[in-house]
Amino acid sequence: MSGSRGEDSYKGVGNQVKESVLSERLAFTGRIAASIAHEIRNPLGNVSIAAQQLKKAYSEDSPWSKHIEVIIRNTERINFLITELLNCARPPELNIRPHDMHGIIENVLDSIRSSLSTQWIKVIKKFDAKPSIINVDREHINRVFLNVVINSVEAMPKGGTLTISTSIEGDFFMVKIQDTGVGIPEEDIIKIFDPFFSTKSMGVGLGLSIVYGIVVSHGGKISVESIWKRGTIFTISLPTK
């Protein structure tokens, strides 16, 4: 794998996701999520309370304790999945404040520094010299960058190069996150932001759907281009005004 290829090699290869199609899919997911979340959470809450009561009734060395722990862990997992489903289906509540975008990106890289080191991933930063302070919800935008960067890292299990570039283009702050990983098959690119679509064996398929919703809620756009077995570029555009 090489990090020397230019972004021009991607032109015409990737498929940009059609916003109207995605919006329709997310709206449908929202209707489904709203209708089932309440129905699932009520009985799930009863199961969780019952399991907690059972846990108190048995000592830690009881053979039943491990089975009770399994019930508790799985009810928590189901509740988490319901929350994630709702998060990807409804617009997030934003706490908009001026924030330094380069600072947010640096914090994301710092949080996964050990993974970058152990996987022999070289990081190249090409930050625009202009001020990078724009109005965003820091927590949500941090989640956007973290999710995309982690996807890039996971796409390079044998090492590679992660390049993060920023620029100001018109009224938008642009962030390009490029990896030299395994890439995305062309037929999968159009589905990459769909709820429950995942190429990972243990993936739930909600991470990028949530990312898409956050970016759109900020009035921005996100697109992906990829060459199979050569790498992927995510482009995130956020309004500066």
CATH of the domain at 30: 3.30.565.10
Query: What is the chain's pLDDT, residue by residue, as a tens digit (241 residues)?
Result: 444 444 444 443 444 445 555 566 666 666 666 667 767 878 888 898 998 888 888 888 888 888 999 999 999 888 887 777 776 666 668 899 999 999 999 999 999 999 999 999 999 999 999 889 999 999 999 999 999 999 999 999 999 999 999 999 999 999 999 999 999 888 888 888 877 667 665 655 677 888 888 998 899 999 999 988 889 999 999 999 8
Contact yes or no for 183/232 (Cβ under 8 A): yes
DSSP result, 168-221? EETTEEEEEEEE-SS---HHHHTTTTSTT--SSTT--S-HHHHHHHHHHHTT-E
pLDDT at 17: 45
Q: Quote the distance between the C-alpha of residue 183 and its chain's center.
A: 17
* Two tokens, residue 202: 């243990």
pLDDT at 19: 58
pLDDT at 100: 96
pLDDT at 201: 58
DSSP bridge pairs for 176: 165, 235
Domain count, the chain: 1
pLDDT at 16: 44
Q: 202-211, long-range: CB within 8 Å, 24+ apart, which pairs?
A: 204/81, 204/84, 206/81, 206/84, 206/85, 206/87, 206/88, 207/147, 207/151, 208/147, 208/148, 208/151, 209/26, 209/29, 209/88, 210/84, 210/87, 210/88, 210/143, 210/147, 211/143, 211/144, 211/147, 211/148
Against a cut of 0.85, is the pTM above it? no
Domain boundaries, position 191: 1-241
* Two tokens, residue 44: 């799930």
